[in-house]
């Protein structure tokens, strides 16, 4: 009996999915209105409204709910949550969306991309970070769907008679003219004009729109990594918006240097005394935890490198794992000696002669 119930539920879910894919609202239906939003809605607004209405109207939870309205909500979410389809819908409505679904969005022209560089500290690459910034961009006016007309009510362009193209005579050489077909300069190739200007864009068909971008820097993200925000850049008439490409530029650190995607080098300056007699040292890592060094009783030459496993950069997509940290020691020699120190040194470094086994001279130790 339990297996039969599961089967019925599964069949019901499949039936709803099939109905949603087959159902297409009227071309006059405003998909933003369906979700109770306006054209300024963010991706988060669309997701929130969809979840709320889906729970309210789902046939399994509310058998008496309006199925057509439920399917309209599904369709509105499918279009408005897709950056490409939303851009097409904002320009051409559902009719344009249907055409794109037939020919494929990859065949649509796209405006140019916008690249921006963001300075990122080594601490941010190590710990992960979140930054929010706003760009100003020019996009097709959603209020008039890029027609320039109030309420998107257009008329046939008188200059080109709705063709979107006109003919121009161009002289290629003295006495040799050629007739060329060019986009209509009055309607910009749309074939449409208007009697009343859109109050939002003033008939220009384009508006300036701030776009807030939330940049997520994952732990262990590589230097100069590019984060792509799809359809967040400028938009020309009849084109999809371009992408915003954010390049993460690393900034130099006072103590640490990133030498690969997973490995770090830390320079440590020690005194001549510590180099000869040994030492212990503790330093702070990029996330604040302490790393201890124990070289008691050991001689540390200038330039000596000591490797510490598991103290390098977090490995992207596996942030609990870390690469290698190499500590490079720089011995700081004194700039001068007191007379007492100078007199004591010969006793410390008392010379003794040792005959070299493979040469004809002695080596002083």
Given a cut of 70, whether residue 2 has pLDDT beyond it is no
Which region among 107-111, 119-123, 178-182 has the lowest average model confidence (pLDDT)?
178-182
> According to the model, what pLDDT value does residue 95 have?
87
Which region among 44-53, 207-216, 254-263, 339-348 has the lowest average model confidence (pLDDT)?
339-348
204-245 confidence digits (pLDDT tens): 889 999 988 999 999 999 999 999 998 899 998 888 999 999
Residue 96 contacts residue 31 (beta carbons within 8 Å): no
**What domains are defined for the chain?**
8-81 (1.10.287.110), 256-354 (2.60.260.20)
Given a cut of 50, whether residue 7 has pLDDT beyond it is no
Confidence of residue 12 (pLDDT cuts 50, 70, 90): very low
Average pLDDT over residues 261-276: 96
What is the helix (H) or strand (E) element at residue 75, kind and residue range?
Answer: helix 67-80
Q: Is the C-alpha dihedral spanning 131, 136, 137, 141 positive or negative?
A: positive
φ, ψ (nearest 5 deg) of residue 76: -60, -45
Alpha-carbon distance of 110 to 228, in angstroms, equals 15
Given a cut of 90, whether residue 297 has pLDDT beyond it is yes
> According to the model, what pLDDT value does residue 3 have?
46
Alpha-carbon distance of 55 to 65, in angstroms, equals 11
Given a cut of 70, whether residue 262 has pLDDT beyond it is yes
Residue 189 contacts residue 119 (beta carbons within 8 Å): no
Given a cut of 50, whether residue 261 has pLDDT beyond it is yes
Which residue bears the tokens 């870390």?
322
Alpha-carbon distance of 280 to 127, in angstroms, equals 27
Which region among 22-36, 79-93, 345-359 has the lowest average model confidence (pLDDT)?
345-359
Alpha-carbon distance of 301 to 298, in angstroms, equals 10
Alpha-carbon distance of 139 to 208, in angstroms, equals 6
What is the helix (H) or strand (E) element at residue 268, kind and residue range?
Answer: strand 264-271
132-188 confidence digits (pLDDT tens): 989 999 999 988 888 888 887 888 888 888 888 888 877 767 777 777 888 888 887
In angstroms, how far is CA 238 from the centroid of its own chain? 25
> According to the model, what pLDDT value does residue 67 have?
83
């Amino acid at each position: 009996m339990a297996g039969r119930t599961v089967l019925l539920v599964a069949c019901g879910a499949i039936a709803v999915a099939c109905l949603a894919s087959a159902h297409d609202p009227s071309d006059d239906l405003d998909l933003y209105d369906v979700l109770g939003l306006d054209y300024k809605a963010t991706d988060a607004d669309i997701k929130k409204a969809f979840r709320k209405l889906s729970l309210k109207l789902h046939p399994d939870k509310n058998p008496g709910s309006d199925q057509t309205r439920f399917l309209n909500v599904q369709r509105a979410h499918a279009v408005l949550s897709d950056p490409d389809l939303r851009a097409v819908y904002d320009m051409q409505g559902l009719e344009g969306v249907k055409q794109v679904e037939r020919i494929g969005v990859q065949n649509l022209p796209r405006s140019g991309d916008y690249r921006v560089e963001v300075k990122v500290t080594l601490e941010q690459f190590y710990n992960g970070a979140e930054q929010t910034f706003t760009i100003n961009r020019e996009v097709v006016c959603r209020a008039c769907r890029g027609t320039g007309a109030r309420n998107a009510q257009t008329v046939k362009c008188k200059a080109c008679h709705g063709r979107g193209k006109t003919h121009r005579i161009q002289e290629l050489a003295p006495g040799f003219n050629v007739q060329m077909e060019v986009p209509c300069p009055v309607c910009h190739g749309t074939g449409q004009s208007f009697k009343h200007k859109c109050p939002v864009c003033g008939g220009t068909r384009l508006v300036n729109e701030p776009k807030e971008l939330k940049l997520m820097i994952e732990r262990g993200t590589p230097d100069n990594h590019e984060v792509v925000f799809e359809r967040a850049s400028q938009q020309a008439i009849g084109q999809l918006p371009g992408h915003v490409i954010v390049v993460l530029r690393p900034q130099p650190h006072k103590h640490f240097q990133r030498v690969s995607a997973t490995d770090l080098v830390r320079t440590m300056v020690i005194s001549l005394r510590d180099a000869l007699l040994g030492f212990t040292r503790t330093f702070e890592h990029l996330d604040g935890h302490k790393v201890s060094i124990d070289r008691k009783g050991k001689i540390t030459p200038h330039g000596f490198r000591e490797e510490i496993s598991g103290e390098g950069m977090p490995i992207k997509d596996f942030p609990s794992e870390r690469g290698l940290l190499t500590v490079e020691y720089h011995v700081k020699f004194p700039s001068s000696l007191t007379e007492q120190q100078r007199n004591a040194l010969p006793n410390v470094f008392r010379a003794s002669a040792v005959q070299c086994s493979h040469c004809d001279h002695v080596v002083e130790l």
